[in-house]
Structure 1
Amino acid sequence: MKKKLGCLHAHYSNITYIEQAFQSIDSIELVHFVDPGLIQRASMGADGLAFKVKEQLEWMESCHIDAILITCTNYIALLEEEPPKLSIPILKIDEPYFEAICEDEQPQMILFTNPGTVEGTMKRLQQYAKQHEKDIDVVAKVIDNTFELIMQGKQEAYNSVIFQTLHHIRGEQRKTSVAQLSMVEAAQQFENETAFMIIHPLKPLVKFVLGSIE
C-alpha cells in the first residue's frame, strides 16, 4: 500500500522538483499543499507566523497522510518556534542537505536567491553541525535581485542568472551548493554541462524520506 507524503511548499514551482525526484518511487503518493502568501507576509516580519505554520500542518494531518515534508526553509525555521504535536512524522528538506554538507570538511559556499532564507538556513546548519560534532567552513552568498524573477514566473530568466553565477564562481576554491529548490534546475543544467558537482537539496532527499516513513 502506498504511503501518502504531504508536501508543504512556499511556491507552486517547487511541486515539479519534488514530483521529478519521486517519479520512480511507486511506494509513495505525493499530496501537495502550497501557501505562497506566507513568504510575502514573512518579508514584513515573522510575528504570529509560527502559529500559522502550526495551523497549516495540523490541517494537513487531518487529510489522512502518513508524513509531512516541508520544502521551505522559512517554514522550517518558523516551525521550531512553535512545534505542533502531530501523530505523523514531520520531515525537513534541509536535514539531508545539511548532512551532505557536513560530510565534507573542505571550504564550501552556499548560494541563495532569497535573502530572507539565509539567516534561518545558516543558523540551522550550524546547529546541525554542532549536534553531529562536525567542523564546517561554509559561507553564504546571495545572488542579488534574482528571487523576484521566480516569484513573477520568469523561470528561464531566473535559471539563466543562477547558471551565469555558477560559471562566475567556478574558479573559487570552495565547493558549491544551492540552498533552494527553485535553484535546482539551473544547478543540474550546470552540472550536466560542466561536470562540476553542485550539492542541492534534492540529491539526498529520496533516500532520507524512504528511510523515515517506509
Structure 2
Amino acid sequence: MKTFTRSKPDDSITLPSRPSIQSVIYRRCFFGDTDVDLHHTVDSSFIERATQDPAFDQYKQQTYAINRLKQENEADLILLTCTQYIAALGDQQHLFKQPIVPIDEPLFEMICEKQGPLQLVFSNPDTVEGTMQRLESYATERGKQVEVELVVMEDAFHLCLNGDMQAYDEQIKSS
C-alpha cells in the first residue's frame, strides 16, 4: 500500500510504504485530522499472485479485486492505496455502495500541474506499469502532457515487506 510525500530534490516524488506514515497522511489530508476510524488492510496475496501466476490475467485480477472489496461492507469509504489494486479495479467503482477513492489521483493531479520533467521513484517494480498506465490515462483525460523519468529501486520493496523499515528508509533516502 502506498502514500505520497514530497522528496528531495524538489522535482522528485517517492511513494513510501509505511503504515504509520499512511495513518498520519490519511487523517490530515483526507479527514482534517478528525475522529475517524481507519482500518488498514494489506492483501499481499494479490500482489504475489499478480506477479507470479501467469494465469492471473487482467480479468481475473479485476474479478478478485471486486470480490475482495465487496467484503468491506462496513466501510463508509474505501481508500485504495495499492496501485495494482487500483489498476485492476479499473472503471468498476460503480459496483460499490460506498465511494472508492484511489489515492494516486491527488498524486496524478500534482504531477499534471508540474512544468518540465519530473522524476518518479518506485520502490516496488511491480507497480510501475499499472501506475504509469493510470497516470497516462489520467493526464490524457484532462488534456495534459507529463514528462517523467522513472527510477526503479529494484531491491528496496522486499525490505518493507519484511518489516525492515530502517533499511528501507535508508535505501529510499540514498536514491
Alignment TM class, shorter chain as reference: 0.7 to 0.9
Q: 1:104 aligns with which of 94, 102, 114?
A: 114
Amino acid at match of 1:70: L
Conserved 8 A contact 2:80-2:103: yes
Identity of paired residues, percent?
Answer: 35
Change (3 A) 1:84 1:55: farther
Question: Which position in structure 2 is the counterpart of 1:89?
Answer: 99
TM-score (norm 1): 0.66
Conserved 8 A contact 2:78-2:100: yes
Report the Cα distance in structure 2 between the residues aligned to 1:35 and 1:84, rounded to whole angstroms. 22
SS of the residue 1:34 aligns to: coil
Question: Which position in structure 2 is the counterpart of 1:17?
Answer: 21
User: Which moves more between the two structures, 142-151 or 102-111?
Assistant: 142-151
Question: Which position in structure 2 is the counterpart of 1:129?
Answer: 139
1:158-202: CA deviations, max 9, x gaps? 11111111xxxxxxxxxxxxxxxxxxxxxxxxxxxxxxxxxxxxx
Report the Cα distance in structure 2 between the residues aligned to 1:15 and 1:114, rounded to whole angstroms. 16
Alpha-carbon shift at residue 149 of structure 1 (Å): 1.3
Report the Cα distance in structure 2 between the residues aligned to 1:106 and 1:27, rounded to whole angstroms. 39
Matches within 5 A, 1:142-181: 142-165=152-175
1:29 aligns with 2:37: yes
Change (3 A) 1:135 1:25: same
Amino acid at match of 2:67: E
Q: Give RMSD over aligned pairs.
A: 2.0
Question: Which position in structure 1 is the counterpart of 2:66?
Answer: 54
Name the larger-Rg structure. 1
Conserved 8 A contact 1:57-1:84: no
SS of the residue 1:99 aligns to: helix
Amino acid at match of 1:37: S
Conserved 8 A contact 1:149-1:155: yes
Report the Cα distance in structure 2 between the residues aligned to 1:41 and 1:144, rounded to whole angstroms. 19
Report the Cα distance in structure 1 between the residues aligned to 2:64 and 2:94, rounded to whole angstroms. 11
Conserved 8 A contact 1:54-1:84: no
Question: Which position in structure 2 is the counterpart of 1:41?
Answer: 49
Conserved 8 A contact 1:70-1:91: yes
Alpha-carbon shift at residue 18 of structure 1 (Å): 2.4
Paired residues in the alignment total: 153
Q: Which runs of 5+ in 2 are unaligned?
A: 3-16
Alpha-carbon shift at residue 87 of structure 1 (Å): 1.4
Question: Which position in structure 1 is the counterpart of 2:7?
Answer: none
Q: Which runs of 5+ in 1 are unaligned?
A: 1-8, 166-214
TM-score (norm 2): 0.79
Report the Cα distance in structure 1 between the residues aligned to 2:127 and 2:116, rounded to whole angstroms. 23
Alpha-carbon shift at residue 144 of structure 1 (Å): 2.0
Report the Cα distance in structure 2 between the residues aligned to 1:132 and 1:149, rounded to whole angstroms. 36
Report the Cα distance in structure 2 between the residues aligned to 1:148 and 1:105, rounded to whole angstroms. 33
